[in-house]
Structure formats: C-alpha cells, structure tokens
Amino acid sequence: MKDKKEDQKHKENQEYREDKKVGVYICYCGGNISDHVDVERVREYVENLPEVAVARTNMFMCSDPGQQLIMDDLKNGTVERVVVASCAPSLHETTFRSAISRAGINPYIYEHANIREQVSWVHHGDQATEKAIKLISMASAKAEQLSPLEPIRVNAKKHATVIGGGVAGLRAAKDMADCGIEVALIEKSQFLGGNLAPLDKIAPTGESAKELLSTLALQVLCHPSITIYAGSVVDSFEGYVGNFTLGVKQVEPLPSKAADSDITAEADISDIQKTNETDKYKKGDYIPFSGVFAVDDADFSNRSDSQNLSVSSNWKSHVIETGVIVIATGFKSYTPNIGEYGYKKIKEVITLPELIKSMADSLNSGRLSSQDSFTMQKGSACSGKVRGLEKFLEIDGRKIRSMAMIHCVGSRQTPGIHQENDSGQLNEYCSRTCCTATLNAANIIRERYPSTRIYDFFRDIRTYGRGQEEIYEKASHNQVIFFRFEADEPPEIIESRESQSGKNFESNSQLNNFPICVKAKDVLTFGEEIEAPVDLVVLATGIEPNDVSDLVQKMKLPVGADRFLLEVHPKLRPVELPVSGIFLAGTCQAPMDIGESCNAAGAAAVKAAAMLAKGYVELDPFVAQINLELCNGCGACVESCLSDGALRIVDIKADGELIKRAEVTPPLCLGCGACVGVCSENAIDIAGWTLRQYEAMVDRIVAENILAVIN
C-alpha cells in the first residue's frame, strides 16, 4: 500500500517537472548480459518510469543497428535524453556519445548504466535483474537532469617553449619548429648539448657525440622558427593550455659543465680558464665537453659592456607567451659520497664520466692542438697509430696496467644497505644506460691498450637494447674479466699503497706493486673470495634527475618517489602530465639513452603539434559552474580550490551595486568538486556531475517501489 502511495506521489511530482523524455537502450551483449539479466523484464519495468519515453533492447547496442535505434529516436524527437545500459562506460561511453553527435544532438545528454561488469558478471538470477533495473532507474533519474554542455574551447598560441637544451630539448624544439610552430628554447647554461657534450663515442654504433651534437644544435641554432634563450631560466609561470606566460631571466654565466662536475685539479683550472675565454667563442662553436655555444653576439656584446659579471640586474629578462611547454631538464651524473668505494679519498678512484674525459684528454694531449682532435675515427684505428708501441692506458701520466670497473654506483640502492643522500633519499631505480656505457668504455680500452687488464664487478649486466648484447659479448671476447656481486656484499676498495711507498710502480709483475686492491665475493664462482690488484677504479655512476625544484614549485609539476618528473600513465601516456599542455621529454622523466631521449622528445613534440594544429584546444566541459543568484561571495570555494587560479572572487555589478561573487576560469578548473563540498549555499556545481543528480540517484536507490511493479 505504502509503495503505491509513494508511486502516486512520484507520478504527481513528475507532472511539475520539465518534460525531458529519456530513452533507455538495453544491451543483451550477445548473452553476456541476457544470460543473467532478464532483459525484456527490465525493459518492461523501466519503460514505466515516469521520465522514460521509450525503452528498447538490442543484441549489441554498440553495433551499427543498435546505434541507429538511438539516432532515429533522437532525430524524430521521441527522446531527448539517452541512457544506454550495457558494458562498462570505459568501453562504449564514447561510442554512444559520438552516435548522439552524429544524430546532430549534444552528446552530453547521455548517461551510462553499467549492467555487465557491475551486474550480470557479478550477480545472478533475480538479483541481477533487480539490480539492473535499479541501475537503469538511477541513470535515468540522472539523465533527466542532464543539460547540453559545450566543450571548453581555448584559443591556443601556435608557439611552444622547450625548457632545457640537451639532446631531448633540441630534438623537441626542432620537431615542433619543423611542424610550423614558433619555438622558444630556454637553456640555463650558455651551451647546447647537455649531457651529450661530455661523451665521446656512443655505444653501440660508435657515432661521435660531437658530430651528433653539432648537427642537431646547428639545425636548431639556424632554424628560423626557433629563438634560443641561452644562459636563462624560467622566472615565473602562469596561464593554462594554449595560453601560458613564462617569465625568462638571464642568469650569470655558469661555469662550463666540465668544470661543474669537478673532475681533477688540473681539469678545474683549465676549465675555469675556458670559462673566462668564453668571450672568444662564437655562436655555433663546438666546445669540447661543454657543447655548442649558443649565446648571441648581441648578448655577448651586452655582457662585455658590463664590467661586473655578477650583477644580475644587467641581464635581460623576457616574457614568453606560449601555447605548450615541453620540459626537457635532463639529468646529472650521480656524484658518489665521499668515501663511497674510496671516492675522493683515494685518488685512483674516479667515475665513468671522468674516465671518458681523461681518455679523450690523454688521446689529445701533445698530439694535436686543434679542437678537431677530439673527433676520434670510427673503429679502433686510434690504438696502434696514436700511441705507437704504447699498450697501456695512461691517466694523468700514470700507466694503468689493470683497472676495475664497478657497476650500479648510485643506482639500484637498497634500503638498509646503501647510505641515503643528504635529503634521506635512495636511488632505488636502475639507471639503464651505465652497463652499456661501461662495457663500451671497457671494449675501447681493451682494443686500444691490450695490455691494460680490466676487471668488471657487476650485479646484473643490463645490455638490453639493440646492438648492446653484442657489446657485452665483445667484452667477454676482449677478455674483460667479470665478477658478479650481490647488493649486500659490494666489492671493497683497499689501499695497498702505504705498505710499499717508494716502490717502482712500473714493474707490473708483482701483485703488491699496485696501489689498490679490489676485494669481492664472486657469485659466479660460488662465492669465491677474489682480490684484484689495480691501478684505477672506475665507478659506473648512475643518472639522477637534475634539481628542478624551482620549476616544480612554480609550475606545480608532479614528482615521483624516484624524484623524476611523474607522467600521467607510465605505460600509455609517458610524455604527458595531468596539466594539459605541458609535456615531458627525455631524462627528466626517467633514465634513457640518447635514442630513447629523442623518441621521447618526438613523442612530446607530436602531442604538442596535435594540440596546436587547430589553433584551439578543446577541453572537457566538466568544470565548476556558479549559480550567481545563490552565491554570496563568501570565498570558501576559492579557499578549497586545488588548482591555483581556477576560482576567484570578483566584483560584479548587480542592480547598480558592486557585489562579490565567485568566478571560474574554466581551462584551469580540474573539475574535482572540492569547491562543491564546501559551499554552504549550494551555489557551485560541476557541470555534468551535479550534487542534485547524485541525490536523485540516491533517491532511486532507496525507493522501494520497484518490486511492486515487477512482481
């Protein structure tokens, strides 16, 4: 009795409602639904719901005939709101929305009832049928309240900004410029090339880093659509996709990168001299270990005028209006802690980047003076010819008879075993590139200096990429001696110099003539203790993201637990961020090699190109909307807002009086609804997801009259 009364009341209420005719379309899903849900009984019931004009069924609602049913009903005015009851909305919500669009109707008058994944596959018998009825009834109640929405169209400037002038940044800049986009490239140092510059020959194909970099950097420098802001950083950030505003400020010249990494005392001095000599560089010059000089003559003269280089007020600042931003801030090589494997305590312990530079230096010293000497010929032609009969590698004039290379320094760190850095962090990740780089260096040394013996201490050899396994095979072939260690039992570096000071290091026959002994337990030979006497220890240091905390703060970028910037989805959307219009390229996102960085840069560039192709960007219309009549301008919503600038209180004129009201900047609104929950006046809602719609759905859940009808 009570049910019927309520039902009556319901029907009466109905008459006062705006007449929004809902069409309900129920899918059999070829038995997936109809095996458990009595679809025809559901149809009969829901057709009796007050707001429902028509309810139809189909074997596959997503098939063309199924979609046609909906389109026909919309076209001839039978229905004005659509509910499809089928599989999960993730599968076919867009299918049906686009069918509605094809019928010439606004696609946002659509609501989905999930009666497969959330009904027929999890409930059985009558319960499944009843639940399906409830879910459709809820969807229908919501559908009745839906109104047409328009996507937010934001005009987008056909301009992109790339932050970072390493290989990823250069590639992204060139790619976008080649697609007809004006590009601004901001680089902190005065050089282009980033971490590519300090490299020599690149594994596995042996290209010269100089050639790669010169080609790419010159293409960028000469591109008519690319403006380079060298020696500059981002100072301010505001705006949203299509319309970002960046403040760019020149900073005082950084010492060149080689000096940055603080290699040896001698290197320091020469690099400082180099820095002072930057006056001599012309834009486009290739400077070994630093990159391609990128400062304009104009900037250059400007700088010469100012006597005091540290007075930053003399430096220019710019404002860039841009449509998209590509972040390519790159990585830095891990610096071992003092004493980690003896680093900085024992002078014979160096890092792999230091080894690469030393090798190049030792090859160049005294032989050729021009910068061109840096270019090494392809293949291993250097060894015999260059050094004559010399069969040993020499570092700083010391003959290296035997050396150890230790992998995973600053990578794959394990809590409880490795020492955290000053900020309490561990690099738990694998740095991806060091195994191949280390073995590549080992091969070069073994081939050029066959008398130099190499011991390689590794955890796992990760030569995963195309052509990389061959480098590993070649290293074995070159008689590099491999020892495997476990994280909790790393090799020990023992100085044996004290005991034999003054002895002649030149005789290599005696074991104790070596300054260092590397002790380890070799897992490959069943845990045998081994001792390797060496002249040099090379640490294969990993990759750490550059410190971009200022950018992270200014642009509100998400950062992962590993301190790399965090993409939206690690599998399918690796170069995108939750903030529309900002993309990631290269090693700011994760360790990558050069090819992978270029791929990531290309992927970011294509996303940018697609976004800017039309001159405008369309965004979801699910954003906050304010009912100005209810709003009292209290500002609670602004306080609760999670996106800076999406909500603010403005003065508006009403009846000649200035009053305070909330205002939404739709492109910045995330549509999360944090503001809805705090509004005391119910004056704010998310379009398409209103509180009233939810309340109507809850009313349908608790309504008991459903059974009265079906029984």
Partner 1 sequence: MKSIQTTTFDVMVIGGGIAGLQTALDIACQDYSVAVVEKGASIGGKMIRLSKVFPTLDCASCITTPKMAAAAHNDNITLFTCCDVKSIKRERTLSTQNISNSISPQNNNTQRNRFVLKAVVTQRARYVDADKCIGCRKCEYECPVLVSDVEQGGFSARKAISIPFSNAIPQIAVLDADNCMLCGKCEKICPTHAINYFQESYDFVIQANSIVLATGYEMTSLSDKPQYGMGKIPNVIDALQMERLLAPHGPYNRVLRPSDGKEPDSIAYIQCAGSRDRSMGVPYCSRFCCMYAIKQAMLLSGSLPLAEIRIYYMDIRAFGKGYEQFYQNAKAMGIEFVKAKVARVDAGEDGSVTLQYEDQNGYGMVTMNHDLVVASMGVISAWSPKGICNVSQGLDNFIHTINSKLSPTLTDMEGVFVAGAAAGPKDIVDTITEAGSAAIEVSKYLRYLYGKERGLKPVSTISSLKAVA
Partner 2 sequence: MDKTAMLHRGKILILATETCAYPGADSVGQSHSSYPSNTFILRVRAPVLFPEQFYMDCFRKGISGIIIMSCGEECPYEGAYKALAKRIDRVYQLMKAAALDIRRLRLTAICTVCNRAFLKEINQMNELIDEIGVPINEEAEL
Binding residues for partner 2, per CB under 8 A?
88-90, 114, 116-119, 121-124, 126-128, 130-131, 134-135, 138, 556, 558, 578, 622, 640, 642, 670-674, 676-679, 686, 689, 691, 694-695, 697-699, 701-702, 707
Residue closer to partner 1 by CB (options 105, 179) is 179
Closest distance of CB 360 from partner 1, Å? 19
- 51 in contact with partner 1 (CB under 8 A): no
How is 670-704 classified by DSSP, letter by letter? ----TTGGG-TT--EEETTS-HHHHHHHHHHHH--
| Residue 408 or 687 having the CB closest to partner 1 | 408
Own/partner contacts of 509-514, CB < 8 Å, gap of 24 or more, are 514/401, 514/402
Q: Is 600 one of the binding residues for partner 1 (CB under 8 A)?
A: yes
Closest CA to 439 of 399, 385, 413, 478: 478
Q: Minimum distance from CB of 558 to partner 2 (Å)?
A: 7
Please say which residue, 24 or 139, places its beta carbon nearer to partner 2.
139
Q: Is 207 an interacting residue with respect to partner 1 (CB under 8 A)?
A: yes
Inter-axis angle of helices 39-47 and 125-144, to 10 degrees? Answer: 40
Q: Is the dihedral of CA 202, 438, 397, 269 positive or negative?
A: positive
Q: For residues 33 and 248, which CB has a smaller minimum distance to partner 1 in the complex?
A: 33
Query: Cα(385)–Cα(308) distance, rounded to whole angstroms?
Result: 48
Please tell me the total number of residues recorded for the chain in this structure: 711
| Closer Cβ to partner 1, 267 or 356, answer by number | 356
Cα–Cα dist 387/445, whole Å: 13
Find the distance separating the first CA and the last CA of the chain, reported in whole Å: 14
**In terms of CB distance, is 431 or 693 closer to partner 2?**
693
Q: Over the range 204-228, which residues count as b (16 or more CB within 10 Å of their CB) and which as e?
A: bebebbbebbbebbebbbebebbbb
Span interacting with partner 1, options 329-337, 456-464, 503-511, 551-559, rule CB under 8 A = 456-464
Task: Using the minimum distance from each CB to partner 2, give the nearer residue, 480 or 646.
Answer: 646
CB 69, min distance to partner 1, A: 12
Closest approach of partner 2 to the CB of residue 121, in Å = 4
CB of 456 to partner 2, least distance (A): 40
**SS3 state at 475:** helix
Could you say which of partner 1, partner 2, none residue 699 binds, taking C-beta under 5 to 8 angstroms by partner kind?
Answer: partner 2
Please report, as a single letter, which amino acid is at residue 347. Answer: K
Q: Of these partners, partner 2, partner 1, none, which one is at the site of residue 710 (CB under 5 to 8 Å by kind)? A: none
CB of 164 to partner 2, least distance (A): 24
**In the complex with partner 1, which residue's Cβ is closer, 299 or 576?**
576
Interface region with partner 1, contact rule CB under 8 A, candidates 122-130, 346-354, 521-529, 637-645: 521-529
Residues 9-48 that bind partner 1 (CB under 8 A): 30-31
3-state secondary structure 422-466: CCCCCCCCCCCCHHHHHHHHHHHHHHHCCCCEEEEEECCCCCCCC
Residue 429 Cβ vs partner 1, minimum distance, rounded to whole Å: 5
CB of 578 to partner 2, least distance (A): 6
What CA–CA distance (Å, rounded) separates 555 from 579? Answer: 9
Q: How far is CA 487 from CA 282, 408, 523, in A?
A: 48, 9, 11
Q: Which is nearer to partner 1, 581 or 602 (by Cβ)?
A: 602
Q: Which residue has the tokens 């219309």?
A: 621
Among 129, 214, 383, 541, binds partner 1 (CB under 8 A): 214
- Using CB under 8 A, pick the residue from 42, 55, 202, 664 that binds partner 1: 202
Binding partner selected for residue 417 from partner 1, partner 2, none, CB under the kind-specific 5 to 8 Å limit: none
Q: Give, in order, the Cα–Cα distances in Å from 511 to each of 29, 453, 502.
A: 77, 13, 15
3-state secondary structure of 657: strand
Q: Which token pair is 378? A: 């392809």
695 binds, among partner 2, partner 1, none (CB under 5 to 8 A by kind): partner 2
Q: How far is the CB of 681 from partner 2 (least distance, A)?
A: 11
Considering only 334-342, 364-372, 422-430, 503-511, which stretch makes contact with partner 1 by CB under 8 A? 422-430
Alpha helices in 31-166 (DSSP H): 39-47, 64-75, 89-102, 125-144
- Alpha-carbon span 251 to 95, nearest angstrom: 52
Q: Count Cα atoms within 13 angstroms, Cβ side, for 633.
A: 10
**Least distance to partner 1, CB of residue 574, Å:** 5
Our CB check for partner 1 shows the closer of 265 and 572 to be 572
**Integer Cα distance of 313 and 316 in angstroms:** 8
Q: Of the candidates 46, 160, 221, 376, which one interacts with partner 1 according to CB under 8 A?
A: 221
CB of 37 to partner 1, least distance (A): 17
* Partner from partner 2, partner 1, none contacting 549, C-beta within 5 to 8 A by type: none
Q: What does the alpha-carbon distance between residue 357 and residue 355 come to, in Å, rounded to a whole number?
A: 5
Nearer to partner 2, 580 or 587 (CB): 580
Is 613 an interacting residue with respect to partner 1 (CB under 8 A)?
yes
Q: Which of 233, 465, 627, 672: binder of partner 1 (CB under 8 A)?
A: 465
Min dist. Cβ of residue 710 to partner 1 (A): 27
- Which of the residues 162 through 201 are near partner 1 (CB under 8 A)? 167, 171, 175, 177-180
- Residues 546-575 interacting with partner 1 (rule: CB under 8 A): 562, 564, 569-575
Among residues 39, 100, 325, 430, the one that binds partner 1 under rule CB under 8 A:
430
Instruction: Tell whether residue 104 is a contact of partner 1 (CB under 8 A).
Output: no
How many alpha carbons fall within 13 Å on the CB side of residue 61?
36
CA distance 195 to 515: 32
Residue 60 found at the interface with partner 1 (CB under 8 A): yes
Which of partner 1, partner 2, none does residue 564 bind (CB under 5 to 8 Å by kind)?
Answer: partner 1
Going by their DSSP bridges, the two strands 81-86 and 110-114 should be labelled as parallel
Q: Is 527 in the site for partner 1 (CB under 8 A)?
A: yes
In this structure, the strands spanning 232-240 and 243-250 are antiparallel
Range 118-157, binding partner 1 (CB under 8 A): none
**Those residues with Cβ within 8 angstroms of residue 353's Cβ, 6 or more apart along the chain or in another chain:** 198, 261, 333, 541
Q: Which helix (H) or strand (E) holds 183?
A: strand 182-187
By CB under 8 A, which span of 59-67, 273-281, 360-368, 392-400 interacts with partner 1? 59-67
> CA angle, 482 as apex, 477 and 484 as ends, to 5°?
145
Q: Select the binding partner of residue 63 from partner 2, partner 1, none (C-beta < 5 to 8 A, by kind).
A: partner 1
Give every strand in the sheet of 286-287, ordered side by side: 191-192, 291-293, 286-287
Closer by beta carbon to partner 2, 32 or else 452: 32
Window contacting partner 1 (CB under 8 A); options: 48-56, 458-466, 491-499, 696-704: 458-466
To partner 1, the closest distance from the beta carbon of 537 in angstroms equals: 22
Angle at which helix 594-612 crosses helix 167-178, to 10 degrees, equals 30
Q: Which does 393 bind (CB under 5 to 8 A by kind): partner 2, partner 1, none?
A: none
Residue from 523, 552, 568, 652 in contact with partner 1 (CB under 8 A): 523
Contacts of 533 by beta carbon, 8 Å cutoff, 6+ apart: 402, 496, 511, 512, 513, 514, 516, 517
